[in-house]
Structure 1
């Protein structure tokens, strides 16, 4: 199985050593050929512009997760959704299966690290919540599997498990949760 994972720093594995990223863990557990095409700081518009480079790799599956940087930069949900839909359409036109990911919420501590203003955290999380719901709705309508990273880290956070390194990016424990969450969905796509 060949999987290309397209996204931003959350896909890339920012904040932890490379072997601890969720993609590295998934590669180890699955034995699949997994290409990490995550790029730190990237918006969905930038992901969309480079998307054809991921298609030419001819993967069996393309995982797409973006939108966090857009939301932190106050890009409209409509624009984010258009970019995600365009990537889904491009993948389907190339006869490739798609899996979507929901970006996790942010924490107040992210403002200390300069990722967003303290006053924006609540509004950004509201946008992430609406965006998550849109991803779930689109996935269910189109029969596209999705990995709910939002819910996975939220559930861990509610159990007082420290899962963030800086309020935006997961720590080692957080990425392990992401890897397990992804594997629970992806393991059945190999059949």
Structure 2
């Protein structure tokens, strides 16, 4: 009888450990207290519609207490982005890079297979340097659509921390926008808060 009890305790403990492991959704390692984050992207990173101090990287820096570099260029495509990405990694040596890029490819009807390849190249460049990646998806051309499937595919392929809902959801709400495709001060603040929560949920903070 005692042996049965011991065996039962062992089995229950093993099951609990397995459930704990399966429920762990963390995709990121905890950032150092002096870590630098590179926020890479186009106008939504640059902060079009507000001043730089109200862009989401600036707000995120205040929320985290970390150095968040705003590497956004308005109007940039992934073809242009991939040409400068590696040099930014070398220049800033971040511990984490947030990639929010590809919206201009979609708006300009670029070949999305090439868009995916460009983003994959950036992800591989970061991972080769052991830099963590948080990928944010952008919606397909209709602003009432969900995130383009290529982002989910990349997240699964490279085992990335990922969100495909934030941008698409916020662009459906006028209160967050300064124009049809850019956020206002409230929008960038909410975006920063959502990214902050993502970093917490994925174990970075």
TM-score normalized by the length of structure 2? 0.74
Find the counterpart in structure 2 of residue 190 from structure 1.
Answer: 204
Q: What displacement does 1:176 show? A: 1.5
Q: Rg: which structure is higher?
A: 2
Say what the alpha-carbon RMSD is for the aligned residues: 2.1
Aligned 8 A contact 1:67 1:103 in 2: yes
Structure 1 Cα separation of the partners of residues 71 and 48 of structure 2: 13
- Which one of 27, 38, 45 corresponds to residue 11 of structure 1? 45
1:36-75 alignment runs, 5 A limit: 36-56=70-90, 57-75=92-110
Distance in 2 of aligned mates of 1:168 and 1:102: 14
Number of residue pairs matched? 168
Q: Does 1:88 align with 2:105?
A: no
Gaps of 5+ in 1: 106-123
Q: Gaps (5+ residues) in structure 2?
A: 1-34
* Structure 1 residues 30-89: Cα deviation after superposition (integer angstroms, max 9, x where no partner): 001110100111100100000112211211001111111111211011111010001001
Partners of 2:170 and 2:70 in 1: CA distance: 21
| Equivalent residue, structure 1, for 2:142 | 125
- Give a deviation string over 1:171-191, Cα, whole Å, max 9, x none: 112112211111111134435
Runs of 4+ in 1 over 4 A off after TM superposition: none
Instruction: Give the TM-score normalised by structure 1.
Output: 0.80
**Which residue of 143, 146, 155 maps to 1:139?**
155
Match of residue 178 from structure 1: 191
Distance in 2 (CA, whole Å) between partners of 1:69 and 1:137 is: 19
